[in-house]
Structure formats: structure tokens, C-alpha cells
């Protein structure tokens, strides 16, 4: 289900409205008045779009809104409610996991004599559905993708024209701007409070991570750090060691996924001379090197099952045996582990020992992905610029506001590591000046749905004119075919590439006789 990339930016900017404004009494009074408006009921099964609409209307405009994943949830909510209480209904037409569609929902609500005005949305626009919606008395018919400001204006019109609400009650956003000035995306220099043991964050989720690190550092309990790749798990491990009473001893790091399984045991526990071919001398392992300090076992989820048994014995007995030896060596070491895998799922699949998992998971620390803490992106960009720009500033770069919007709406699958690499790349390749859209990698533009070229640069209207409906139909059919080819006919994956509901894609395929491609 498609919608503008700017929608994602709205979701990240709501903290600005919540936290940055110290509103004066007039604005607060306006908020209280707006909360008394008729309720808005949103029925949409696309979670991201539903969240965007919900937060935009409730935070930016100050409207009271409730969200539902389908018609049945809405009807359950309305059961027992006063039918005369007015509300504005915003509903999708197609629902992936519901037998009833949005138009049928309108019929049910009318049969129950509810007092409502409706706005319907669809990602599969057709003359037939538009006529059907109009016949049912729909106030407006929206085709996806659409701008959230368009939806907001429609809701305001419903309230003022159909529900006799005073138009003055919808000036809240303008009052906020006049009170504190308009919001503009810009980079933020991190302060000392934003930096914690080599990590940077001002978001609530990172503040909680910092607090947990502080609490657990002094204990000797085993730590399991989880989170996607590139989120800084090793930085957390080093911070825990640095703040602990073992800080003056060694902190040894081992990447369990980077060392072949048959060598990992020797790497961890050491070996005796002659223990195997090539063992020409005795070698101490990483656990012995880390004695009285800490050992960080990164990517613990990749450790072979046989070695997991031996690690479990180390945790239980606090002693190790070198390969080729029968003598136990006592160790005093704090064990910190990390993984990007879901270890609970690995346990169920038989790829990780359940008893070891519970031994390791004494104190879990779960790091968020970068897309879950996007308010930290301006801080991180500023920090990385300070690292990669030369001291004389000859290769200093800055970002256009359009580029910052793209970076804020990008999903960052590689997390902080990907952001760091991108900033280093831009500083080196640009060598100074302002970063424009065309300077960004194609992957970033593709995953934010950003159009580098204007439509006029791609398509020019012929002198003799064009059949617009036929032309758009050919374009749509071509894109559906390409999506199906790229995903080997997988409708779920193809619908994600086209950003539409799976059911909508199936309807379009049936209409264009493309079912044989799946």
C-alpha cells in the first residue's frame, strides 16, 4: 500500500511537537477545546499508514482519533454506543484479513442508524468503486497515495461543513507556529549529555539503554546484548566493562561468527603442544587472557552446538580445559555476549541450546534499530562529520533540507554503521560544498521512493495528445510484471515492492489477466 515518503518523516517529527514546545495558555486552551470535537474513527489494516494518519491528526491537528485494523474491530467498539453521537469515519475499502470491505461497513453503520460522515481511501481506484462510494453518501473518495495534509483538510471540512464545528477551533497548528516559529530540519551538535561511553543518543530509547548499562556494570552477571547488525553492540560491551570494577583488567573480544568452528575452541580455551596437527607449542586462550577482566563473545548465536556445551560448563564451573589437556584451569571472568539473531527462535529450531540461552540471558540489553530512534540521526550525522571532515575544513559538507528529509525517512537497514559509512563516503567523494539529492546513493533514493527526475523530464506530451487512461494502464501493468518477475511470482513480496495490499495486487492481476505470471 503506497503513500509518500514524507509520511514517515511526520512520524519521526511528532516528538518535536510533544517535547520542544512550551505552549502558552491560549494554545493549551485551544488543545482542550479541540479534544471536545466529534471523534474520528480510522479503519485501516496497513499499520504504518494507520500510525501515520493517527499520529498526524492527533498530534499536529489535535484531533481525537481511534484506530482499528478492520470493520469487525470498529463494530465491536461501537457496540452499545449512543447512535446519536456524531463521528467522522475514515476507512479503507479493501482489507486483507476481512470478509467485509469498507463500502459494506458503511451499509452496516447506516442500518444501525449511526450518526457519521465518511471519507473512504483506496489503493485500487476505479470508476465503479468511485460511483459506488458516491451512491453511499461518502463525503470524499481518496486514492492512495495521498498527502496527509489533504486528508487533514477533508476532515476539517467534514467538521465545519457537516458537523457545525467552529472553524476557529482548527487554527491550533498555526497558533503553535506563531508561538514558537516553524520547524525546520537541521543538524544538531551532540552535547556532553548526548554522549555516553562512545555512544550517542538523545532519544528516550537510548536514554533507557544508558541507564541499564549504568545499573548492570558493577555486577558480575552475564549480559546478553541483542539487536540488529550495526547498532553498536560492541560499544555497549566495552561501556559495561569500562564502568565495572574490572575496568583496569583486560576486555577481550571474540567474534564467534568470524572464526571457523574447528578453530574456535582453541581460540577460546587454548591448546597444549601436540594437541592437534600444527599445535607446535602451548597456547593460552582468550578466556585466560581475560582472567579477572571481561570477555565479549560477539555473534554467540553462530557458535557450534558442540562448543555450546563446553561454554555451558565454563559458566557453571568457572573453569576451562585447554584442547588436549585434562587439567582444569579456574578463571574469574565476566562474560558478555551479543547476537543479531533471535536466540529464542534458534532454541525452538534446535540451533541453540535452551540451557545455555537461560545462562546467558541473565540481564538482556536490547538495542534499537536506527529507524526506531530517528530523532538521533541529526546528532549522529554531526558527530560523524566532525570525525571525517579535515581539521582545516576544506572538505566540509552541509546538507540541503531535501536531503535531510530523505535521510530522515530512509529505513537504514544497516543501522548506525550504514549511516557512518554514508557520511564518510559523501565527505570523500563530494570534497566540500552542499550535498544535493543527486549525490545520494541510488539505494537510499529507491528505499525512500524519492523521484530524482521530475515527471516532465521522463514523459513529454505528444503534439497529437495521448489516451491517459490507456497509457497509465500500460505503465501499471509493466510495473506489476516487473515486480512479479523480481520476486519469482511471490505475491506477498511483489505487493511490498509496489507498496500495496496483497489483495489489491491480486485484484489488479485478475483485471489485467496476469494471474499466469504468479
What is each CA distance from 160 to 91, 168, 360, in whole angstroms?
Answer: 20, 10, 59
Q: Characterize 18-49 residue by residue with b for buried, 16 or more Cβ atoms within 10 angstroms of its Cβ, and e for exposed.
A: eeeeebeeebeebeeebeebbebbbbbbbeeb
Bridge-partner residues for 399, per DSSP?
435
Question: Tell me, what's the pLDDT at 275?
Answer: 84
pLDDT tens, N- to C-terminus, the chain (518 residues): 444 444 444 444 444 344 433 444 443 444 344 456 788 899 988 888 888 888 888 776 667 788 898 888 888 888 877 888 888 999 988 887 667 788 888 888 888 888 889 998 887 666 666 677 777 788 887 877 777 888 888 888 888 888 887 776 665 444 434 434 444 578 888 998 899 999 999 999 999 999 999 999 999 999 999 999 999 999 999 999 999 999 999 999 999 999 998 899 999 999 998 888 888 899 999 999 999 999 999 999 999 999 999 999 999 999 999 999 889 999 999 999 999 999 999 999 999 999 999 999 999 999 999 999 999 999 999 999 999 998 878 889 999 888 998 899 888 999 999 999 999 999 999 988 899 888 888 888 776 655 444 444 345 566 667 777 777 777 788 788 888 877 878 888 888 888 888 888 888 888 877 766 65
79 prior amide bond cis, ω within 30: no
Domains in the chain, start-ordered, CATH in brackets? 6-180 (3.40.50.2300), 204-370 (3.40.50.300), 373-452 (1.10.8.60), 458-517 (1.10.10.60)
What's the CA gap between 285 and 320, in Å, rounded? 10
What's the CA gap between 402 and 407, in Å, rounded? 9
- Answer for the pair 115, 86: CB distance below 8 angstroms, yes or no: yes
- Residue (of 36, 127, 148, 50) closest to 85 by Cα position: 36
Question: Tell me, what's the pLDDT at 461?
Answer: 62
Question: Tell me, what's the pLDDT at 177?
Answer: 43
**Residue 447 class from Cβ within 10 Å (0-12 exposed, 13-18 middle, 19+ buried)?**
middle
**Alpha-helical runs (H) found in 353-486:** 354-360, 377-388, 401-409, 415-430, 442-447, 455-458, 468-486
User: For 510, what's the count of Cα atoms within 13 Å in the CB-facing half-sphere?
Assistant: 7
- Residue (of 137, 294, 290, 327) closest to 218 by Cα position: 294
Residues 6+ apart with CB under 8 A from 24: 179
Residue 92: phi and psi, rounded to 5, are -75, 165
Inter-residue long-range contacts of 30-33, CB under 8 Å, 24+ positions, other chains counted: 30/62, 30/169, 30/171, 30/172, 30/175, 31/62, 31/172, 33/169
Listing DSSP states for 298-347 in one string gives ETGGGS-HHHHHHHHHHHHHSEE--BT----EE---EEEEEESS-HHHHH
Q: How many CB atoms lie within 10 A of CB 265?
A: 21
Question: Tell me, what's the pLDDT at 148?
Answer: 81
**Alpha-helical runs (H) found in 136-260:** 148-157, 172-180, 204-216, 233-242
Question: Tell me, what's the pLDDT at 176?
Answer: 39
Amino acid at each position: 500500500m503506497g503513500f509518500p515518503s514524507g509520511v514517515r518523516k511526520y512520524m519521526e517529527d511528532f516528538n518535536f511537537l510533544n517535547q520542544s514546545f512550551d505552549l502558552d495558555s491560549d494554545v493549551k486552551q485551544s488543545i482542550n477545546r479541540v479534544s471536545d470535537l466529534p471523534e474520528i474513527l480510522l479503519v485501516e489494516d496497513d499499520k504504518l499508514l494507520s500510525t501515520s494518519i493517527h499520529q498526524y491528526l492527533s498530534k499536529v491537528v489535535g484531533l481525537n482519533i481511534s484506530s482499528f485494523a478492520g470493520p469487525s474491530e470498529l463494530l465491536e467498539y461501537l457496540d452499545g454506543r449512543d447512535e446519536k453521537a456524531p463521528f467522522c469515519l475514515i476507512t479503507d475499502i479493501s482489507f486483507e484479513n476481512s470478509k467485509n470491505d469498507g463500502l459494506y461497513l458503511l451499509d452496516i453503520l447506516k442500518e444501525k442508524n449511526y450518526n457519521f460522515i465518511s471519507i473512504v481511501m483506496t489503493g485500487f481506484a476505479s470508476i465503479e468503486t468511485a460511483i459506488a462510494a458516491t451512491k453511499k453518501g461518502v463525503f470524499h473518495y481518496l486514492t492512495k497515495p495521498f498527502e496527509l495534509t489533504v486528508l487533514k483538510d477533508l476532515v476539517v471540512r467534514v467538521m465545519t461543513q457537516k458537523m457545525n464545528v467552529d472553524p476557529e477551533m482548527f487554527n491550533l497548528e498555526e497558533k503553535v507556529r506563531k508561538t514558537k516559529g516553524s520547524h525546520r530540519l537541521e543538524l544538531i551538535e551532540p552535547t556532553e549529555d548526548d554522549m555516553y561511553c562512545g555512544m550517542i543518543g538523545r532519544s528516550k530509547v537510548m536514554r533507557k539503554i544508558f541507564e541499564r548499562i549504568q545499573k548492570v556494570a558493577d555486577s558480575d552477571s552475564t549480559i546478553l546484548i541483542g539487536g540488529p547488525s550495526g547498532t553498536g553492540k560492541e560499544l555497549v560491551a566495552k561501556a559495561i566493562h569500562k564502568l565495572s570494577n574490572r575496568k583496569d583488567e583486560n576486555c577481550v573480544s571474540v567474534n564467534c561468527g568470524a572464526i571457523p568452528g574447528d578453530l574456535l575452541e582453541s581460540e577460546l580455551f587454548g591448546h597444549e603442544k601436540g594437541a592437534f596437527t600444527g599445535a607446535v607449542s602451548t597456547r593460552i586462550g582468550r578466556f585466560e587472557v581475560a582472567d579477572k577482566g571481561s570477555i565479549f563473545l560477539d555473534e554467540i548465536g553462530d557458535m557450534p552446538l558442540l562448543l555450546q556445551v563446553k561454554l555451558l560448563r565454563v559458566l557453571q564451573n568457572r573453569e576451562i580445559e585447554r584442547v588436549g589437556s585434562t587439567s582444569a584451569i579456574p578463571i574469574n571472568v565476566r562474560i558478555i555476549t551479543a547476537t543479531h539473531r533471535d536466540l529464542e527462535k534458534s532454541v525452538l529450531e534446535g540451533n541453540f541450546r535452551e540451557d545455555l540461552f537461560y545462562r546467558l540471558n541473565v540481564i538482556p540489553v536490547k538495542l534499537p534499530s536506527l529507524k526506531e530512534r530517528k530523532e538521533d540521526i541529526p546528532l549522529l550525522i554531526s558527530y560523524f562529520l566532525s570525525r571525517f571532515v579535515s581539521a582545516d575544513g576544506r572538505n566540509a559538507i552541509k546538507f540541503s533540507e531535501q536531503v535531510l528529509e530523505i535521510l530522515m525517512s530512509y529505513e537504514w537497514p544497516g543501522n548506525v554503521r550504514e549511516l557512518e559509512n554514508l557520511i564518510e563516503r559523501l565527505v570523500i567523494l563530494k570534497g566540500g560544498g552542499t550535498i544535493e539529492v543527486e549525490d545520494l546513493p541510488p539505494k537510499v533514493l529507491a528505499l525512500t521512493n524519492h523521484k530524482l527526475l521530475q515527471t516532465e523530464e521522463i514523459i513529454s506530451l505528444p503534439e497529437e495528445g495521448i489516451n491517459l487512461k490507456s497509457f497509465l494502464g500500460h505503465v501499471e501493468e509493466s510495473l506489476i510484471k516487473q515486480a512479479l518477475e523480481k520476486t519469482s511470482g511471490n505475491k506477498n513480496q511483489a505487493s511490498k515492492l509496489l507498496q500495496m495490499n496483497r489483495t489489491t495486487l491480486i485484484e489488479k492481476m485478475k483485471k489485467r489477466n496476469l494471474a499466469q505470471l504468479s
